[in-house]
Each structure stands twice: as structure tokens, then as C-alpha cells.
Amino acid sequence: MSTYGPPTPGRGDDRFAGARRWWLRAMFISVLGGGMVGLANAHIVYDRTRSVAITGLIAVCGSLPPLILPAVSTTLAQRFGGPRTYIARYVLSAVVAFVPVVLLATGQLTTVTLLIWTASMSAVAGLFLPSGSLVQRMLAPPGKLPEFTAAAGRNAALAGVIGILGGGVVYETVGPIWIYTINAISFIPLVLPVFPLVGKAEPDEAARRRFSSVWGLMYGPEARPGLRAACTFTIISLALGGYTVTLPALAGTGKGTAGVLSLLQAAAVVGGLMTAALTRRLHRRVPWGRVQRGCFLVIGVGLLVLAWASGPSLGPSATVLACIIAIIPIGLALKLDQTILLALVQITIPAPSRAVFFTYYGLIPMVAIPLGQMTIGLIADSLSVSVALAIMAVLILTLVAIGPRTPLRITFDRLASVDDPPEVRHGNH
């Protein structure tokens, strides 16, 4: 399952090779369950409310709790380390994930209780926010962090496709209770591969830093402008990914629409299967800044096609087919873009600041995704889905057109042109 090559000679033993393989398998199982639940949540809320904006509240409820917990999560990561907090996160997640099973069995699952449960799951994740990035960096082969990040993304994409498509079948045949049961069980395998990492973190990984110290990296006297640019582009990319809030509306309501929604959601993540291969092919051949501009261009054109396909001019079957054709390249471009941004951030952060900065970076989706979804949802409810998508397309294509001339783009290109900044020592994780 590992495709990023052997460790670099002379950089120490690859001590976590076994744990890495099992972690990738466990992540596959967990993302599969998450794909099923994402489908069920969106379908249940839109089917009961017929509102794109209210469907976007799923992302809001999934994002608000971590926004008020960064100081706590940073303290926990520094006190107990990435592996221990990672284990705690997924043990608690497995317990809380069984709540919808009980609610469905007792007839108490409503839009409100579903949103409250979503916020509860998010609070668990928020308590241990940096743990995922810290563990993933420890597991990465020496000198192969971008490739490992892409390989993990490919695994997640494959699991997401299977989970979404399988979730549509399960939802239509035996109902959502089995979807939530599978999801709860899927958290358990994530815990086991991380036990060998407990206590293995380097001393500089555990350095105590206040969460507020992240502003020094971003805006202080020793600020890193390239890092700030990468975070800005991450916000834009994740906000653009909010277009997926329109998929339940494109699928419609009534019998059989859960299956249609599963096809649309699967199309949005299937492109991620090619991310690892593209990353390996492009690494050291094409500057990451140029790749990222290409991703934005593909996203803009894809959204224009999707806006046209979602209009009233096509029949139901043709609309679904055209939407799938438009969504696949959008999903690929978004995943490739976010993989590049994450890898650049991971290799740029100095070791003593990792726990603090990974907390900050983990908060970006908590703001960008619900902001994107709620903005798109409000426009879609007020005007139409096609108008909302067209506005997004025009904005991103305008950014592509003026981007090369902006200081933000120039700064990011400088960061992206350096694969391994001098302060990064791959053998230290």
C-alpha cells in the first residue's frame, strides 16, 4: 500500500514502516464510514427541510466547537504528545458516534438532534485537533512527506468513493441506522497502529508554546510570508469546496434520490484517487505554484459547466450525467491543491512550533468550509443553484486572471519553489 519508495539512505531506520501500513488501512476503514455518514447527514437534513442553507448548517455545527478549543487542544498535544491525544480522540469518537444509532432506534432523530450530534463529534475532534497532523508527520518516511501525504489522500479518496456509493445502497435498502453503526465501529481500527508511536516523539516536538505564539510565525518580526500565503490559499480552496452543499438539491428529493446523491458525492471525491500519482509525477518537474494555478483554472471552468448543467435545460438523467462529468475534475483539482498546500505547510513549520501551528492550520477548515457552504447556500435559496455556482466560477476565474500579478501569488511561488527548507530535518520525525 505504500508507493512513495524506500527511506532515503543515511537518514536513519524507517522505524514506523509497519505502523504506517496499518495506519493507512485503518484510515481507509474510517473514511469509508465517514463517507457513508456524510451522505446520510446531507440527505436527511435536505429531505426534511428542502433548504440548501440549512443543509449547510451541518458544516457550521461541525466547525464551531473546535474554534473555541484551540488553546486547550494545543495544551493537550504538548502535555501528552500527538500519539496519546490521537488515541484519545478516536476512542471518544467511537463512543459518541453510536448516539445516532440510539436516536434512530427510539425515533428521536430529527434535524435538530442530528445537528447537535454533529457538534458533539466536532467537539471531540476539536479537543485533540493537532493530533492527526503530528501522527501523520511521524509516520511519513524520511524525505517523503509530500508523497506520503498524497498517498494518504489517495487512500481517503478511494475509501470515500466506496463509502458514499455503498452508503447510497445501504440507505435505500436497509435504512440509515446501519450507516451510523458502521461509522461508529470504523473509528476503532485507527487506534491500534498508533500505539507503537507513544513516547517516540522527539523532544523538540513537545516544546511548550502558547497558542498565541502562532501569530509570531504569521505576522511577527520573524514572520514567514510564504506560510501566510499558503494559509490564505488554503482558505480559498476549502471555501470553494463548499459547492458540495448544492449536491442534495441537484439530486432532488423523494425515493431513490439518496442513490443519486451518492453518485454526485462520489464524483466529488473520485478525483482524489489520482492525487498521489499526479504528485509523484509533478514533484521536482513542475513548480508547485504553477500546479496550484492550474488547479484553480480547472475549478473555475468546472463550476461554469456545473452551473450550466444544473439549469432547467436538461432532463433528469442528462442533468445527473452532466453534473458528474463536471464534478470529477473539480474534485481532482481541489484535492491536488489541498494536498500541495498541506505538504508545504508540514515541511515548512519548525519542529518546536508544530503542535501550535497544526492546531491553527486545523482550524482553517472550521472557518472556510462553513463560510463557503453557507454563502453558497444562501445565494442558492435566494436565487438558484445555477446562479450560485456561476458566481463562484466567475470569482475564481477572475482570481486566476489577476493572480500572477499579486504579491500574495509571488510570495507563495517563492515558498513553493523550495522542496525542503533548510530548517527541515526529515530524520527527526
pLDDT tens digit sequence for 354-389: 666 777 777 788 889 899 999 999 999 999 999 999
Mean pLDDT of each 10-residue bin along the chain, 429 residues long: 39 66 89 92 90 90 82 80 88 95 93 94 87 80 71 80 90 92 93 81 49 60 69 87 90 72 87 72 69 87 90 76 91 86 73 68 84 92 92 88 65 56 34
pLDDT recorded at residue 1: 41
- How many alpha carbons fall within 13 Å on the CB side of residue 231? 21
pLDDT recorded at residue 301: 93
C-alpha span between 284 and 282 (Å, rounded): 6
C-alpha span between 319 and 259 (Å, rounded): 15
Residues in the chain: 429
C-alpha span between 149 and 157 (Å, rounded): 12
C-alpha span between 84 and 134 (Å, rounded): 11
C-alpha span between 414 and 164 (Å, rounded): 38
The answer to whether residues 390 and 307 touch, using CB atoms and an 8 Å cutoff, is: yes
Q: Which residues contact 283 (CB under 8 A, 6 or more apart)?
A: 146, 147, 419
The answer to whether residues 19 and 139 touch, using CB atoms and an 8 Å cutoff, is: yes
Alpha-carbon distances of 53 from 65, 247, 249, 374, 378, rounded to whole Å: 20, 12, 11, 6, 5
pLDDT recorded at residue 206: 43
pLDDT recorded at residue 146: 66
**What counts of helices (H) and strands (E) characterise the chain?**
20, 0
What's CA 68's distance to the chain center, in Å? 20
C-alpha span between 208 and 74 (Å, rounded): 9
pLDDT recorded at residue 136: 79
pLDDT recorded at residue 64: 83
Three-point CA angle 346, 347, 348, nearest 5°: 95
Element (H, E) at 229: helix 225-240
C-alpha span between 279 and 201 (Å, rounded): 28
Cell numbers describing residue 291: 500546479
Rg (CA), the chain: 21
pLDDT recorded at residue 129: 79
Three-point CA angle 240, 246, 250, nearest 5°: 140
* The amino acid at 395: L
pLDDT recorded at residue 379: 93
17-191+214-421 belongs to which homologous superfamily?
A: MFS general substrate transporter like domains (1.20.1250.20)
The sign of the CA dihedral 122, 25, 356, 408 is: negative
The answer to whether residues 32 and 160 touch, using CB atoms and an 8 Å cutoff, is: yes
Q: Pick from 28, 27, 81, 73: which is nearest to 204 by CA?
A: 81
The answer to whether residues 345 and 230 touch, using CB atoms and an 8 Å cutoff, is: yes
Alpha-carbon distances of 201 from 126, 214, 384, rounded to whole Å: 21, 21, 51
